[in-house]
Structure formats: C-alpha cells, structure tokens
Amino acid sequence: MLYYLFEYLQSAYDFPGAGLFQYISFRAAMAIITSLLVSLVFGGKIINIIRNKQIGEQVRELGLAGEESKKGTPTMGGLIILAAILIPTLLFTKLDNIYIIIMIVSTLWLGAIGFIDDHIKVYKKDKEGLAGRFKILGQVGIGLIVGLVMVFHGDIVVKENVKLSAETDVIGSVSLAQKSSKTTTPFFKNNEFDYQNLTSWMGDKAKDYAWIFFILIVVIIITAVSNGANMTDGLDGLATGTSAIIGATLALFAYVSGNIIAADYLNIMYIPNTGELVIYMSAFVGACVGFMWYNSYPAQVFMGDTGSLALGGIIAVVAILIRKELLIPILCGIFLIENVSVMLQVGYFKYTKKKYGVGKRVFKMAPLHHHYQKLGMHESKIVTRFWIVGIMLAVITVVTLKLR
C-alpha cells in the first residue's frame, strides 16, 4: 500500500524521499523492522489474550525433562507470526505482483489449517487435533493452486536464451521471457533440470503432459516441508530459529533470481518480478526472530500448528516459485531429518513387532530432538546445535550455485 502511495507522491509532487520506495533493498529493510515491531509490540498483548482465554498447551506426558513446566503455556502464538508477516507485506510490496498474491493466499490458507487444528486441540480437548486426512487435504489443495497458477498464469515466466534460425531472419540467440518447465539442480554443470524429461517417454506429447508431473511434485514438496516444520516444532525456539535461517537463504536466492545482473553473473535462471519475494521473506525472517523474543527458552508462548504448518508451507512455496525446490533436501535438512526420524521409528517398530512379536526402536524417542532429550542433553543446547547445523546447511546450499 505504501509503495503505491509514495509512487504517487513521487510522480505528482516529487516528494522528497519518496523515490526510496522504488528500491527493493529499502523496502526489505522496512519490512524487517516492521515485522519485528509487530511481533514485539503486539506479541505480548496477543499472549495475554490467549492466556486470559485459557488457551494453553496440553502436555502429552512423554516423560521428558521439564515437560511439566510447559503445561498451560499459551499456544496458538502462530497468530503473532502470521500478523508480523502479512502486515509488512501489505505495506511494502507491490500487491498486484502474482508472486506476492500467491504468498498471501498460501500464508492465510496454511495458517487457517493450523488454526483449525489448534482450535480443536484447545476447545474440544482433543490432543490429536484436526484429523490427518483433512490436514493433508488442505496441503494438497494449496499445492494444486500454486502448481496450476505457475503453469497457466502468464506473468510467471523465465528468461532463457532461445536459439533463432534463418527462418526468423535472425541467426544466433536472444534472451526471451517465456513459460518454462525448468528448475535449478545442485552440483550439475548446466545447473538446470527440465520437468519435460519426466515425460520424455511420451515422445511428441511430452511437453503437453509435463505440467501434470510438475504439479504432483509441487503438492508433495509443500506437504512434506509443511509437515517437517510441524515435526520440528517440539523445543523452545527450534522451529522458529531454523525457519529464520532458511528464510534468510531464500531471500538471498529470490534477490539473485530477480536481478538480471546477478543472475547472469551466477549463470542461473533470471525470473522477472521475483524481487518482491525478497520483501516478503524479509518480513518472514523478522517475524521469526521477533517471535523468538517470547518463544526462546523458557517459552512464554508456543506457535502451535497455526505457526508451524504455515512456516513450512511458506518455505516450500517460495522455493518452488524461485525454482529452487530441488535444493530443499539440503536447505531444509533439519526438517528432513526430523521427518525421516519419525518414519524410521514407526517403520522399524512395526517391522520388528511383526517379525519378532516385540517392537524395537531406532531412537529413544522421535522426532530426533526428543532422542537427545532422552539422552539427557539440555533443551537449549539441542536447539543451539540444531541452529548451527541449519546454518551450515544454508551455506552449503548457497555454495551450490557455483559448485557444478
């Protein structure tokens, strides 16, 4: 909103300083500051409202150290994160930008799924919350929306070097903005993968059906990363800090992908108009950091599924929009290992119970962070070490731009 106001003031009255709003770097900085202020100023008030309504955490009695002290801690704090993301986004981005529209819809959609889940847990005293099939259905729904918009919306294009022949009266190549089914791959020389390769066995019809496989992959990625963030949200500050690290990395990727000079220098795809995602992700990082003011150990509030499902989904959608979804296993390695630890634990338990009559476990408890708790490691030490690993993975992800 402010972007359009100052654009008008600049053009109509040459208002001093209004031109600053043309710069992505300035608006990104303002988004971070605003998201931090929203978190800090309104966070305490939201927590008091939650506490007065007796919306507290229901502890499952898992036998973990310090578990009793968490009982009754206000939950649904994800509302603070959502507000701190959306308010700066509405103020400082170009709201007619298709990428921003997708992110606003995704944020509200995933936040609503998490809110419903938390509402059932709190008010209906059902510790299981929203049935898993309905969560998956909601995640699949937003995946379909994102995938279909990316495939069919005319503003979502990639600039590629297209070879021209004598038939066009021009010999050589020219950079054209066009629809593309390519994405970024790490460690390979050309750094790109075309989803049409998945349908190459169809021959001439490969191009016509590649979008179906692309949308399927989009749905899987959004569902997996969203659930991965949800699994990671088990210790004070763990999911929030990890998401902030990932968000900062994606903001960097969005900047270089949306800047034609940087994209050319790094030899990566130039994706017009994705620069606005830098502002959105700046708000995202600011919201995560601001929320940690209240969520760091010992937490005054938990984000609940309202926050965790939204954080994971946002990360997945942004990665897909800037064609970096195949980097997710590296960048979101913390989420991945948390997910895998649960799958291994459940799978091995069922296998051994069926084969030997007694179920055995790989870890003392899953997700993985609870395993370390069972080993006697302090909660804050586990969180800090996971953050350090997250930073290392983020650096490796950035380095993949040049490691080919």
CB 360 within 8 A of CB 249: no
Residue-wise pLDDT for 241-290, tens only, equals: 999 999 999 999 999 999 988 888 888 889 999 999 999 999 999 999 99
Residue bearing tokens 């069972």: 374
Report yes or no on 49 lying in a domain: yes
Residue 156 tokens read as 């979502």
Residue bearing tokens 């979804």: 325
Report yes or no on 220 lying in a domain: yes
Residue-wise pLDDT for 344-400, tens only, equals: 999 999 999 998 888 899 999 989 999 999 999 999 999 999 999 999 999 999 998
What is the per-residue pLDDT for 168? Answer: 42
φ/ψ of 159, rounded to 5, equals -90, 125
Q: Which of 210, 82, 198, 156 has the alpha carbon at shortest distance from 320? A: 156
Report yes or no on 163 lying in a domain: yes
Report yes or no on 129 lying in a domain: yes
Which pLDDT tens digits describe the chain residue by residue (404 residues)? 787 887 878 888 888 877 888 899 999 999 999 999 999 999 989 888 888 876 655 555 565 666 666 777 888 899 999 999 999 999 999 999 999 999 999 999 999 999 999 888 887 777 778 888 899 999 999 999 999 999 999 899 887 654 444 444 444 444 566 788 888 888 776 678 888 888 877 777 767 788 888 999 999 999 999 999 999 998 999 999 999 999 999 999 999 999 988 888 888 889 999 999 999 999 999 999 999 999 998 889 999 999 999 999 999 999 999 999 999 999 999 999 999 999 999 999 999 999 888 889 999 998 999 999 999 999 999 999 999 999 999 999 999 877 76
Report yes or no on 150 lying in a domain: yes
Report yes or no on 404 lying in a domain: no
Alpha helices, DSSP H, located in 124-205: 132-152
Does pTM surpass 0.85? yes
3 state SS for 351-368 = HHHHHHCCCCCCCCCCCH
Q: What is the DSSP letter of 303?
A: -
Report yes or no on 247 lying in a domain: yes
Containing structural domain, residue 271: 2-399
CB atoms within 10 A of CB 71: 11
* Total structural domains within the chain: 1
Q: Which of 234, 237, 212 has the alpha carbon at shortest distance from 295? A: 237
CB-based burial label for 151 (10 Å; 0-12, 13-18, 19+): middle
What is the per-residue pLDDT for 175? Answer: 58
CA distance 298 to 301: 9
CA distance 70 to 60: 11
| Element spanning 381, H or E | helix 379-399
3-state secondary structure of 383: helix
DSSP state string for 187-248: T-SS-EEEGGGGGGGGGGGHHHHHHHHHHHHHHHHHHHHHHHHHHHTTSTTHHHHHHHHHHH
Residue bearing tokens 């963030």: 229
Alpha helices, DSSP H, located in 18-160: 24-52, 67-70, 78-92, 98-123, 132-152
What is the per-residue pLDDT for 179? Answer: 81
Report yes or no on 31 lying in a domain: yes
What is the per-residue pLDDT for 172? Answer: 46
